[in-house]
């Protein structure tokens, strides 16, 4: 059994259905999708130590099973510059009401991207795992500018998914911006495809957003939902 299958079976045996951002990104890292360096802890000194280790600025988020839309709950603290800001954020995050166990996800603040993208997966009752690709932000939310393919996909399909959205120019040097690393996006789409084919226990995935650069990508938020 592959590492990812073992991890998923383990969550299921604990009765876990919705993985937190930390758990979801940990799994993505195992399959080779780049994520922000992250650490899960409930100890304030630990948070400061990890920030010193990875370097400022950092991001802190509250991880709790019942806090799903983190920004709406005030559970995302961006661009923290020093120990004082970390300690203040720690107290504020830990004071957010929740019935679940609360921990802090301290992570690297990713550099400003060329653009944000989304890779998703939903389970179609008829066709099974469907992969989704789109440009992050309003293009997905308002204009529903996304492409879909039934998994498994090959490189050719991944390339088409990226090129067929209306927002493609944003990845292709729009208004003098650098071009996005299309190969890195293709690679991530293929890895998500492999993961969901190897693990039919996965019901839904949302890598949202992934920051895209001229060289490389990094997933800054993710959610994986398992089947009952």
For position 76 contacting ligand ADP by CB under 6 A, the verdict is yes
For position 106 contacting ligand ADP by CB under 6 A, the verdict is no
For position 221 contacting Mg ion by CB under 5 A, the verdict is yes
Of 47, 110, 153, 165, the one binding ligand ADP (CB under 6 A) is 110
CA distance 216 to 183: 8
Query: Least distance in Å: CB of 23 to ligand ADP?
Result: 13
CA distance 4 to 199: 8
Of 8, 106, 109, 170, the one binding ligand ADP (CB under 6 A) is 109
For position 209 contacting ligand ADP by CB under 6 A, the verdict is yes
Site string for ligand ADP, 1-40 (x = CB under 6 A): -----------------------------------x----
Torsion, CA 135, CA 138, CA 141, CA 145, rounded to 10: -50
Nearer to Mg ion (CB atom), residue 21 or residue 157? 21
* Count of residues touching ligand ADP (by CB under 6 A): 15
């Amino acid at each position: 059994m592959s590492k990812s299958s073992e991890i998923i079976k383990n969550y299921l045996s604990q009765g876990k259905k919705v993985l937190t951002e930390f758990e979801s990104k940990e799994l993505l890292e195992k399959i080779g999708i780049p994520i922000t360096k992250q650490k899960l802890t409930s100890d304030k000194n630990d948070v400061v130590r990890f920030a010193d280790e990875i370097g400022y600025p950092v991001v802190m988020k509250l991880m709790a099973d019942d806090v799903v839309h983190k920004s709406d709950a005030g559970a995302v603290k961006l661009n923290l510059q020093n120990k004082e800001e970390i300690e203040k954020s720690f107290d504020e995050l830990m004071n957010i009401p929740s019935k679940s166990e609360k921990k802090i996800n301290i992570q690297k603040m990713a550099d400003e991207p060329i653009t944000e993208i989304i890779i998703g997966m939903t389970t179609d009752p008829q066709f099974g795992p469907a992969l989704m690709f789109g440009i992050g932000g309003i293009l997905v939310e308002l204009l529903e500018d996304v492409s879909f393919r039934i998994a498994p996909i090959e490189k050719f399909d991944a390339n088409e998914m990226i090129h067929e959205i209306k927002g493609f120019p944003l990845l292709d040097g729009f208004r003098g911006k650098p071009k996005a690393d299309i190969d890195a996006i293709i690679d991530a789409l293929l890895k998500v495809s492999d993961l969901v084919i190897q693990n039919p226990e996965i019901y839904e995935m949302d890598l949202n957003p992934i920051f895209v650069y001229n060289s490389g990508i990094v997933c800054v938020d993710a959610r994986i939902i398992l089947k009952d």
